[in-house]
Amino acid sequence: MNTLFLDAAFSKPTERPPVWMMRQAGRFMPEYWEIKNKYSFLEMCKTPELAADVTMLPVDLLGIDAAILFSDILVTAEAMGGDLSFTQGVGPRFANPVRSLADVDALEVDVLDKLQYVADAIKVIQQRLGGSIPLIGFAGAPFTVMSYLVEGASSKDFKTTKLLMHNHPEIAHKLLAKIAKVTAEYLNLQIAAGVNAVQIFDSWALALSWNDYQEFSHRYIQEIIANLNRKDIPVISFCKGSSVFAPVMAEAKPDVISVDWNADLLNIKNSLPAGIAVQGNLDPHILYADKPVIKKTILQLFERMRGTDGFIFNLGHGIMPDIPFDHVKYAIEVIKDFKY
Ligand code: CP3
């Protein structure tokens, strides 16, 4: 197996930084559309052979150092009772938003049987990978998942979610505790099915104040990580907002913190306890730019990180759907040509 990714995640030396990219299996690839034009997004997630086909696209076409399971952070919320749909150009929607104590009480927590399709997909993917590179599993963090359940859709300002947190914290906490329980069990199901690492996505944490981050996000991530069967399985904690929250994220004891593009990555690394690796942190917009700009910016980051063990190259957030495929491929060639 190519162990670059796992070595870096456990802060061991590597000959070059390993590379994978958030949202690497998605709409910027023409081959994704060939599948997407025939099936709905949820069908793709729930049919193990299709989920495996999409997971393998960046493995076969880009040569990345780790694969990530093709799924979505909202499948846990759907299993709990959320009436989830995805519409092109609109994004995710819950037809039955969760806003009252009765709504929270109606959500189920014993839902692993409904998520068995994910375990099945992991087994098919591992067969296809044949031990060549590690497979990353993932789940959404409770705050980010709650925001979709409460808003019923994507949101710019999280107004309804914040109103619930501020006016009815006891309802918000009951909801977060339920999501956290399901999330820990769900990640353990993925580990039992054979993933080699897990990442927790708290995509919208940046919307929170310092105090609200501790109260409504961090403590639940800490609880999830504490409950993982994580022997030999590195845990990556990603949040948009990590430039601010990294010291708090470290208290949950992940193996890796995935950093957005606002901070200097070496400064973040040096501010963390020894043994916590960093992942990041190229601004994904750089991948729209001309190739010499892409190369220069990646090499600048690598020179900055030279001599630092525990560094995985990634973007500060996911690849946008209209980034040219050819630019992503070029970026990966630049990375794989680099030697410390
Ligand atoms: O990284 C990967 O390649 C693995 C697959 C993956 C998807 N979603 C596939 C997907 C992962 C890891 C996710 C996580 C996810 N889903 C997050 C956290 C990551 C992040 O970027 O912050 C979030 C916030 C979601 C929720 C979600 N799912 C949204 C907001 C959307 C719509 C996005 C949009 O711009 O329309 C989705 C749908 C989704 N998830 C797609 C894919 C490939 C697009 C579906 C389609 O083809 O229409």
Atom from ligand 1 closest to the CA of residue 69: 4
Is 219 one of the annotated binding-site residues? no
Closest Cα to atom 24 of ligand 1: 203
Model pLDDT, residue 192: 98
- 133 contacts: CB under 8 Å, gap ≥ 6: 1, 2, 5, 59, 64, 65, 66, 67
Question: How do residues 190-249 score in pLDDT, each as one tens digit?
Answer: 999 999 999 999 999 999 999 999 999 999 999 999 999 999 999 999 999 999 999 999
Ligand 1 center from residue 72 Cα (angstroms): 6
DSSP string covering 35-71, please? HHTTS-HHHHHHSHHHHHHHHHHHHHHH--S-EE-S-
Model pLDDT, residue 204: 97
Q: State the Cα–Cα distance between residues 328 and 242, nearest whole angstrom.
A: 24
Model pLDDT, residue 88: 85
Is 203 one of the annotated binding-site residues? yes
Is 213 one of the annotated binding-site residues? no
Ligand 1 center from residue 306 Cα (angstroms): 32
Atom from ligand 1 closest to the CA of residue 25: 3
Atom from ligand 1 closest to the CA of residue 26: 43
Length of the chain, please? 340
Ligand 1 center from residue 23 Cα (angstroms): 7
Q: Where are the domains of the chain?
A: 4-337
- 82 contacts: CB under 8 Å, gap ≥ 6: 74, 94, 96, 98, 107, 148, 149
Model pLDDT, residue 120: 98
Atom from ligand 1 closest to the CA of residue 24: 3
Is 88 touching ligand 1 by the criterion CB < 6 Å? yes
Taking a C-beta distance cutoff of 8 angstroms, is the pair 289, 259 a contact? Answer: no
Closest Cα to atom 32 of ligand 1: 91
Is 73 touching ligand 1 by the criterion CB < 6 Å? yes
What residue type is assigned to position 135 of the chain?
Answer: L
Is 41 touching ligand 1 by the criterion CB < 6 Å? yes
Ligand 1 center from residue 50 Cα (angstroms): 16
Is 105 one of the annotated binding-site residues? no
- Burial label, 125 (beta-carbon count in 10 A; 0-12, 13-18, 19+): buried
For each of the chain's 340 residues, which pLDDT tens digit applies? 999 999 999 999 999 999 999 999 999 999 999 999 999 999 999 999 999 999 999 999 999 999 999 999 999 999 999 999 999 888 999 999 999 999 999 999 999 999 999 999 999 999 999 999 999 999 999 999 999 999 999 999 999 999 999 999 999 999 999 999 999 999 999 999 999 999 999 999 999 999 999 999 999 999 999 999 999 999 999 999 999 999 999 999 999 999 999 999 999 999 999 999 999 999 999 999 999 999 999 999 999 999 999 999 999 999 999 999 999 999 999 999 999 9
Is 284 touching ligand 1 by the criterion CB < 6 Å? no
Atom from ligand 1 closest to the CA of residue 22: 1
Question: Which value does ipTM take for this structure?
Answer: 0.92
Residue reference for tokens 């068995």: 116
Model pLDDT, residue 108: 98
CATH T-level assignment (fold) for domain 4-337: TIM Barrel (3.20.20)
Is 199 one of the annotated binding-site residues? no
